[in-house]
Amino acid sequence: MEGGINSWKGLTAEGPPESGMAYFPEASKPEELIALAWLLEDGSRKFYSSLAGLLTDHEAKGLFADLTAAEERHQASLLDLHKAGSNVTSDSGFPGAAISSGNEGDVMEGGIRVSEALHWAGGKSLTETVEFALSLETNSYDLYVKMGRRMQDRRSAQVFHVLCGEEKLHLERLSSLLEKKM
């Protein structure tokens, strides 16, 4: 990646920094943000799990299996955060009790439908699929930075800070795979 943005010939992001918060209106309560994040993680888990099952490249298959497990850990962290914030000991219908979603289970990081992403990935090369996963993880990192800033208590902000760090690790691993396979 030589030359940076000045060498880039593709599209660039436009709009205000908060534009990535499209799913998260200003009036969103912390429990709603946590529930929405959990839903996005769930969708990404499903996407990565399906990709791991479809790929023939062993290294890529292993990476997407690892990403599937990471998304499950993220969901567990968000569920724990929900429980701590609402003083409940069970999942209490989480995330549905905190937010209603007409597309529950079919939307992933990046705001993309899992079903549409899997349909798209079916005809793409490994390089294109990894590039797509990079864009999802970049979006997720950006979203969690913004969500962490909106959390009112330190513990919640810290959870999103940790998730940001993990998303950066995902980006590093995907970038490394992309460099090897190009």
Q: What is the pLDDT of residues 48-61, one digit of tens each?
A: 999 999 989 999 99
Q: Which long-range contacts (CB under 8 A, 24 or more apart) does 146-155 make?
A: 146/17, 146/18, 146/20, 146/21, 146/24, 147/21, 147/24, 147/33, 147/37, 150/24, 150/28, 150/30, 150/33, 151/30, 151/33, 152/30, 153/30, 153/85, 155/81, 155/84
Residue 2 within any structural domain of the chain: no
H or E stretch including 83?
A: helix 58-86
Assess if residue 165 is contained within a domain: yes
Let me know if residue 41 belongs to a domain. yes
Is 176's pLDDT higher than 60? Answer: yes
Q: Mind listing the pLDDT tens digit for each residue in 147-171?
A: 888 888 888 888 889 999 999 999 9
Does a structural domain hold residue 19? no
Q: Which domain holds residue 47?
A: 29-90+103-181
**Residue type at 46?**
K
CATH of the domain at 142: 1.20.1260.10
Residue 149: count of CB within 10 angstroms of its CB: 10
Q: Is residue 7 part of a domain?
A: no
Both tokens assigned to 84: 């701590």
Would the pTM of this model clear 0.75, i.e. be above it?
yes
The residue among 172 and 96 whose pLDDT is bigger is 172
Tens of pLDDT along 75-96? Answer: 998 888 888 877 665 566 777 6
pLDDT of residue 15: 39
For residue 142, give both structure tokens. 């950006």
Residue 12 lies in a domain: no
Does a structural domain hold residue 77? yes
Evaluate whether 86 touches 92 at the Cβ level (below 8 Å). Answer: yes
Lowest-confidence pick of 34-48, 84-98, 139-153: 84-98
**68 Rama sector, left if φ>0, alpha if ψ -120 to 50, beta otherwise:** alpha
Asked whether residue 131 carries a pLDDT value surpassing 70, the answer given is: yes
Q: Pick the range with the lowest mean pLDDT from 5-19, 33-47, 87-101.
A: 5-19
Residue 134, domain member (yes or no): yes
Q: How many structural domains compose the chain?
A: 1
- Please determine, for residue 134, whether its predicted confidence score (pLDDT) is greater than 90: yes
Question: In the chain, pLDDT over 90 holds for what percent of residues?
Answer: 42
